[in-house]
Chains A and B, each alone.
Chain A
């Protein structure tokens, strides 16, 4: 069938070509390098063939588990695709390079590659894979470079919110919160939860919203910042959806238990079902409540209550 003048179907570029000389990927790599290096005999680089050769070399290296070389090959292939102005393929190669860099534990490169890949995806006009790439990078860096991870997560969230796909950003917010909690930056964690609540509000996801607000209040209580927690609670009760929900009742019970200084009550509330369905990091915090001395809080709040009464008496 192929013989008689039928146009040969184009083989997809990424397919591993076994009919070509399955020679040593090193040879392919050097050949491709030669094609791209400009010299006296070569006035313009032949990126098309070079890219094909780079891809083959990269696949060959990956199969033979030569991760370092595979990574370099993928980088060069991505560069070639960029030259051929197909950002999608370029971005895909960048992602593969980044995954290999992760295996090598080359964290700086991981961050750079994923960011580059995300930019290329945005060039294609596809924000979803862009934020996915950043999220993958952030997840890889969570343990080793948490600040960088937070930065990547925030960028990913911004991309999604610009595209009005807040629903997808919930997972990212939760990841950011857990990283902050691990770093013990509780105010930042609470603020990210509040932003989650805002995003949930925009897409009418009331359950996520109320869970986010309850989580924020618990984080404030865990940081032993009672005033902040109360203020947060007051702010959140302005929102109808939160006010009518189970979670706001639970938060109110928490705050009143704190003002009463009743440790058993706090422990009981932490076992309730409203808390048990939150994010597991927050459940862990809630179980560890109360931190610090609750009775001191009781004394403080009692004093505060008496003073306004005195003022009223004078006036």
Chain B
């Protein structure tokens, strides 16, 4: 039996005997009556996942993957912030089996939630350090391009020296790129104009080529006819020349006969 078969079998068996798994059942039914507890548990687990993801993104060297993960973390944070008002309402609801202290505790938990959510790091800190490295400067762990909403401190947006230097470099590089692109675009313009002119010239020459084609065809057939006639005439001539040769040879023969006759006489 292969490994995959074993795995499938194990899964099936577990599924069959799930109803005897006390811990799992307790987990599933634990918050069955208590809406607040259920939602709070979900929010908690989401926060944990987001924290894990952001830590992994910070460690990730591939900038694209890190950016994607950070984006997901940010999305999760947005969703969590939406859940917070719901939780607040649920916390104030009275449920059976809950003491006053429990309700107070729940309200505190809900209040603590927003801070916990905002605390999840989602900036492009690792990317910033990367570009810093590319520009051959030290890492800039405090630079964030997407500042999350929330309380804005008075010196939240103050430029550190490193950040302003980085910004200047960024602007310079952008300008150089723009210049390069301008030159490329000029070259492409020239190419385009040349290509369009060539296109028109070729269009102009197409009917001329057609005319040449037909004229050459005509000339070709005429030459062929002339060749045939010439051949016929030549064969005629040759045969007449053969005739001449005949006559000449006959004259020679007659001459020889005459000479013999004279000699024998």
Contact = CB atoms under 8 A, between A and B. Distances in A.
A95 B193 CA distance: 37
A125 to B, nearest CB: 14
A208 B201 CA distance: 10
B190 interface: yes
B190 A273 contact: yes
Given A4-B240, A6-B233, A6-B237, A277 B193 contact: yes
Interface string B226-257: 00000001000100110000000000000000
B135 interface: no
A277 to B, nearest CB: 4
Contacts of B237: 1, 4, 6
Interface in A203-244: 203, 205, 207-208
Contact of A167 (B190, B203, B240): B203
Given A6-B233, A273-B189, A277-B193, A208 B200 contact: yes
The residue among B197, B204, B207 with the most chain A CB atoms within 10 A of its own CB is B204
* Interface range for B: 10 to 19
A207 B199 contact: yes
Contacts, number: 29
A6 B199 CA distance: 53
A165 B241 CA distance: 56
B207 A167 contact: yes
Interface string A193-211: 0000000000101011000
A4 to B, nearest CB: 6
B186 A273 contact: yes
23 contacts: A1-B237, A4-B237, A6-B233, A6-B237, A167-B203, A167-B204, A167-B207, A168-B204, A170-B204, A203-B203, A205-B200, A205-B203, A205-B204, A207-B197, A207-B199, A207-B200, A208-B200, A273-B186, A273-B189, A273-B193, A277-B190, A277-B193, A277-B197
